[in-house]
Amino acid sequence: MAEAQNWRAWLLTDTPTSRRHAKLSALYQGWLSFKGNTMAMVGLWILILLGLIALAAPLLAPHDPFAQELGNRLQPLGSQGHILGTDSLGRDILSRLIYGSRITLYIVGLVALIAPITGLLVGTVAGYAGGWTAQILMRITDIFLAFPRLVLALAFVAALGAGIENAVLAISLTAWPPYARIARAETLTIRSSDYISAIQLQGAGALRIIAKHIWPLCISSLIVRVTLDMAGIFLTAAGLGFFGLGAQPPSPEWGAMISEGRRFILDHWWVATVPGMAIFTVSLAFNLLGDGLRDVLDPKDSEK
């Protein structure tokens, strides 16, 4: 107890003793204000729960998500042994949902890595280099930005062939331009600051300056933007799955599950309804978390 008090005092101090101390202290204070935001905490907990479910899927799922049982198809909610019923091939919907959370996290996680990193590279290089390089890079960014996202993703997946990896690629291709713009804007303001001139005079090369002195400063605004975009990314992925262009059957991707259930919607509504609820819950959680993070990390944009 006393030790915890000490830690708190150390973290909340006004006079940090080292760089790391100051950093940790800022992080802790951010966490405290984030914790005060109930809705954001709800979002965070839902996502933590989702992560745990995905990790422990084999332990949690009551049935094999791929095991077909044709004699037992389209069982309603709350039937014996199948709390959320079964789909058109007699597969347990709850188990499929549980396994589907892995696919969800896989897609969102990959896109949330690829798109911002691409944007960061393009944006910082354009911002630091300027001139023709910037013209060309930003023109490409504009072109991608001008495209309607879902249509572009659809066309790309159709061209590359359906599948999770191609869906990730297609969504990343449509998602990176805003990050490039943000990174470029940040770079432009950083580039002209005195400390950059100082290290330039010391003989630091462009690569070193970009990687060690510009990237770290762009990252926090990118993180905010990524969290706010997660719900959109996730919904696009579910949309692709719904079209049959994302994860392929029999994999239990939630969008694809809705598309399967669509054929029976009038008589067996739960088959399409249940995965839809799951998608809604998760994307709501992403939105709540994103709003909360924005309030903490980027107070000037917050609505409060």
Partner 1 sequence: MALAEHKNGGRHRAPLERWIRAVFMPLGSIIVTMLGLMFVTFVIGRIMPIVPVLAIVGEQASKSTYDAAYEQLGLDRPIVVQFGLYVWDVIHGDFGKSLLTARPVAEDIKRVFPATLELATIGVFAGIVLGVPLGVVAAVKRGSWIDQIARVIALVGYSMPIFWLGLMGLLVFYGIQGWVGGPGRVGIFYVDIVPSVTGMILVDSILDRNWDVFKDALSHIVLPASLLGYYSLAYISRMTRSFMLEQLSAEYITTARVKGLSESAVIWRHAFKNIRVQLITVIALSYATLLEGSVLTEIIFSWPGIGSYITTALLSADMSAVMGGTVVVGLVFILLNIFSDLLYKVFDPRAK
Instruction: Enumerate binding residues for partner 1 (CB under 8 A).
Output: 139-140, 142-144, 146-152, 154-156, 158-161, 231, 235, 238-239, 242-244, 255, 258, 262, 265-266, 269, 272-273, 276, 279-280, 283-284, 286-288, 303
Nearer to partner 1, 169 or 210 (CB): 169
Q: Work out the number of other CB atoms within 10 angstroms of the CB of residue 298.
A: 15
Beta pairing partners, 79: 82
Residue with Cβ nearer partner 1 (238 or 296)? 238
CB of 140 to partner 1, least distance (A): 7
Q: Is 196 exposed, middle or buried (0-12, 13-18, 19+ CB in 10 A)?
A: middle
CB 260 within 8 A of CB 267: no
Instruction: In whole angstroms, give the CA distance from residue 154 to residue 160.
Output: 10
Per-residue tokens: 193: 């600051």
Query: Which lies closer to partner 1 via its Cβ, residue 62 or residue 161?
Result: 161
User: Shortest approach of partner 1 to residue 112 CB, angstroms?
Assistant: 17
Calculate the alpha carbon distances from 149 to 87, 153, 203, 237 in Å.
31, 6, 42, 12
Minimum CB separation from partner 1 for residue 277, in Å? 9
* 8 Å CB contact between 286 and 47: yes
Residue whose CB is less far from partner 1, 92 or 229: 229
For partner 1, the closer CB: 112 or 214: 112
Q: How far is the CB of 253 from partner 1 (least distance, A)?
A: 13
Looking at the Cβ atoms of 214 and 279, the one nearer to partner 1 is 279
CA-based nearest residue to 111, from 249, 275, 237: 237
What is the C-alpha to C-alpha distance for residues 278 and 238, in angstroms, rounded to an integer?
11
Minimum separation from the CB atom of position 262 to partner 1 (A): 6
Question: Residue 55 CB, nearest distance to partner 1 (Å)?
Answer: 24
